[in-house]
Amino acid sequence: MRVEAIPMTIQSSTGTEQRAFDIGALCGARFAARDVQAKRRELDDLMVREGRYSMATLTNPSIFRIGRYLLTQDSEFEVQGALTGGEGEVVAIRDGDEVFISVGSDQCDRELDPLFPDKPKQMCPHPIATVAWPYAEVRDHWDQMQIHSEVTVGGHNVPLQDSPLNALVDLEYLLALDVVRAMPDPLFLYCGSAPFLDSVQETIARHDLPDVTAHGTGDTFLARLHDPILARTIEIRYRPIPLGDEMDERRGRPGAAEHHLNY
């Protein structure tokens, strides 16, 4: 299968370099909280309460594959329907002995999210920035770096995430997982989502925004990785363009409006 290489500007302490990475594998991490044991207890409890219908996984962090063709650097791309949303994440690029980091968004279909663990990830392009840093330059202050994201809805900016990376397992933990080690290089790894801010719901209520805004759904999405020690930032901004679907028709069915608009 033909998959386009991803061009990157590598910014380092010695200057910049242009690189192009083939995509050997594309994957993401879910349930990647730094406190692995506490997250395990939470997931086990979910499985007990929800049974066979639980979206909880048997391992955490859990790694899921993403179709390689979905990786994109486009600032605009088409999605099916209006209910897709993003999450700002660090993206690691492993190429042999070299590791680089960038920022991207785990865009997925929020309608399918409650129903399937992996299928929602396959329904949307996965944006990644055009700039990356050598991991070696940030390794010693990894926990101090910060991930931020926000969505724009009807002219209102809604901050979604604003967290140091110590909220998540570190990169070396993920790279050491057997399932990750077995994947071919160059590997692009979305490193997991930091928790959304408590203020999201307050902003939604204050501006009377759609409930789905709380899931990163909106007109444009921004994700930013900031390194406060070396005073540099990587940023990505994109616009998902909804293709028409039958939502207007479904709104006329009994119970449809509640399900699709209040998810």
Q: Is-contact 212 257, C-beta < 8 A?
A: no
pTM: 0.90
Is residue 169 over pLDDT 70? yes
Tokens matching residue 146: 């910060």
Is residue 248 over pLDDT 80? no
Q: Is-contact 110 81, C-beta < 8 A?
A: no
A 10 A CB-CB count for 204 gives 18
DSSP assignment of 188-220: EEE--PPPPPTHHHHHHHHHT--GGGGGT-SSE
Choice between 154 and 263, residue whose per-residue pLDDT is larger: 154
Give buried/exposed letters for 67-84 (b at 16+ CB in 10 A, else e): ebebbbbeeebebebbbb
Is residue 113 over pLDDT 80? no
The residue with tokens 């330059």 is 137
Q: For the structural domain made of 6-261, what CATH number should be given?
A: 3.90.850.10
The domains of the chain are located at 6-261
Distance from C-alpha of 178 to C-alpha of 197, rounded to nearest angstrom: 32
- Mean pLDDT over all residues of the chain? 90
Per-residue pLDDT reduced to its tens digit, 58-83? 888 999 999 999 999 999 999 988 88
Q: What is the pLDDT of residue 102?
A: 99
- What is the Cα gyration radius of the chain? 18
What confidence tier does 252 reach under pLDDT thresholds 50, 70, 90? low
Q: What SS3 state is found at 171? A: helix
